[in-house]
Amino acid sequence: MNKITVWKTVMVAVIFGAGVSAHSAYGQSAGGQLPCLRASDAAAQDQSLYDLLYRLSPTVFINANDVVTYGTDSFALVECVVSQLPQLYAVNPFFTDAKVIKFKIGSPLDVVSLDLDLLQSFTQLEYVWLVYEYDACGGEADSCLQAMAEKSVTQSSNSKVTVLYELAIPR
C-alpha cells in the first residue's frame, strides 16, 4: 500500500473569520510519518485548496435519491452521502474534472470504505475529504480521526491523492 497523506482540518475558527495561529502536528500511518495540518495552515500554504474546500465551487451532490449539480462549469467537487458511495465507481462524465470527493459522516454507522483504484472517472482527483459531523472521538476532540481516515481510503496504485479530515459537529 502506498502512502496516503492525511491533513487535519478544523474549521470552526475559519468559518467565523477568527484569526488562528498556524499549527502543525504530525501523525503516524502505515506508510510512516505524514503531515497533519489545521485548516489555517492549509489555507496559508495553498489558497487554491482553501477555495476548493470552503468557497462555492461547481459541485455534484449525490444524495440518497438523486444527483444534483450546482454550477455549469466542470465540476470541481463531488459530495456524496455515504450510502451512495458505490455510485462513485461508475463511469460518469460529471466526475472527470473533480479534484475533491467529500463525505459528510453523521454517525458511527456511516462507514466510508473507498478504494481509489476502482474510481474510473476521477482523472483529476487530488483529495478525499472526510467531514465527521458527530463526536467520533468523544469530548469533541479530533485525536482519533487520523486513524479513522487512514482506514477509510485505500489505494494500491501510485496515486497522489491526499486524505483530508475534519471534525465539524453541527450546532
Backbone angles phi, psi at 46, to 5 degrees: -150, 90
Q: What are the residue ranges spanned by the domains of the chain?
A: 5-167
Question: Is the pTM for the entire model greater than 0.85?
Answer: no
Give per-10-residue mean pLDDT for the chain (171 aa): 41 30 31 37 73 86 89 88 94 93 93 90 91 90 84 77 85 78
Residue 44 has a pLDDT of 62
**Containing H/E element for 152?**
helix 145-152
Q: How many CB atoms lie within 10 A of CB 116?
A: 20
Residue 56 has a pLDDT of 83
Reduced DSSP (H G I as helix, E B as strand, rest coil) percent helix, strand, coil of the chain, to 5: 25, 30, 45
Residue 158 has a pLDDT of 66
Is the Cβ–Cβ distance between 160 and 126 less than 8 Å?
Answer: yes
Residue 40 has a pLDDT of 43
Residue 123: helix, strand or coil by DSSP? coil
Return the C-alpha cell found at 89.
465507481
Residue 42 has a pLDDT of 61
Residue 146 has a pLDDT of 83
CA atoms within 13 A on the CB side of 56: 5
Cα–Cα distance, 95 to 76 (Å, whole number): 8
